[in-house]
Amino acid sequence: MSAPGPEAILIAGPTASGKSALAITLAHRLGGTVVNADSMQVYSDLRVLSARPSEAEEAAVPHVLFGHVDGAVNYSVGLWLADAARTLGELRGQGRLPIFTGGTGMYFKGLLRGLSDIPPVPEEVRARVRSEAQGQDPATLHARLTALDPQTAARLRPSDPQRILRALEVFEATGRSLSAFQGARTPGLLDPARCLCLFLAPERKALHARIDERFDAMVAAGALEEVRALAERGLDPALPVMRAHGVPGVLAYLRGEASLEAAIQKGKTDTRHYSKRQFTFIRHQLPEFVWAAPEAAEQAITDMLHR
């Protein structure tokens, strides 16, 4: 009797490494459904700047969890895992292979390891914390967190307002440090031993060139108009959608605070820095991922399938 096939295929990698193309190829070949595991591609507002698959690509094979969230939503890993759990149930019922693809390491970690068991924050507490934070720069918010919860503050970058606000919300709701909840975890949705986990690892110089080329293509494809429409919504600047790579720089340009050249350069630089963090996260947090150059990725999957 032949061994059962994988429970799922997980394709991670830095931005612009070719994950989407590989996932589509595998979905055609294996009867799979491409499931988004990128925290910016969930947003309906950001098709261009998040490099979501095109409408033609989404029509070629089934895609789920792409563009299904409004930018006004403070979407989180926990919300994505709830959506992923529902999606897994549906795909199992359909007999389709889930092919998770994206660049958000915490999504993959949540799939395989679960999440810290943190109590839900009441909406009124969340709204109050965010209202009080309006207009405050990240460094000020970090100083506030340091006074309340120095242990968590020491682990967070002062330039990361989303995680700082999350820690403040948990402290306000529970009176306890976010770090106090890190030990207990909910179970993961997938068994790593039954998944094929691949990380696309391009050569860095080539990757940086690809990031720059793609950002220029995004600008040509309507990224400025996309950000202008987002700006007209008047959303909280601390929301994840407002901090997507490219958005802050273009917003500064639209406000007359920066040149278009400077805005584009900021988007490219921020994306290159993020790609470095993506390599680091997988290396240290998810050792079960097999690394492969993009040009060898399909063969790597084939080899894994036949082990």
pTM for the structure as a whole = 0.83
Same domain membership, residue 161 and residue 74: no
Same domain membership, residue 79 and residue 99: yes
Same domain membership, residue 216 and residue 162: no
Q: Which of 178, 261, 170, 248 is nearest to 212 (CA)?
A: 261
Same domain membership, residue 148 and residue 90: no
Positive or negative CA dihedral for 59, 63, 64, 65?
negative
Domain limit, last residue, from 133, 154, 181: 181
Same domain membership, residue 79 and residue 20: yes
Q: Which residues contact 263 (CB under 8 A, 6 or more apart)?
A: 249, 250, 252, 253
User: CA-CA distance, 295 to 252, in Å (whole number)?
Assistant: 37
| Domain enclosing residue 136, as ranges | 123-181
Same domain membership, residue 104 and residue 29: yes
Same domain membership, residue 289 and residue 169: no
- 3-state DSSP call for residue 202? coil
- 3-state DSSP call for residue 279? helix
Same domain membership, residue 217 and residue 98: yes
Quick: pLDDT tens for 217-269.
Answer: 999 999 999 999 999 999 988 899 999 999 999 999 999 999 999 999 999 99
DSSP H or E segment with residue 167: helix 161-174
- Residue 1 located in a structural domain: no
Quick: pLDDT tens for 259-303.
Answer: 999 999 999 999 999 999 999 999 999 999 999 999 999 999 999
Tell me the CATH number at 300: 3.40.50.300
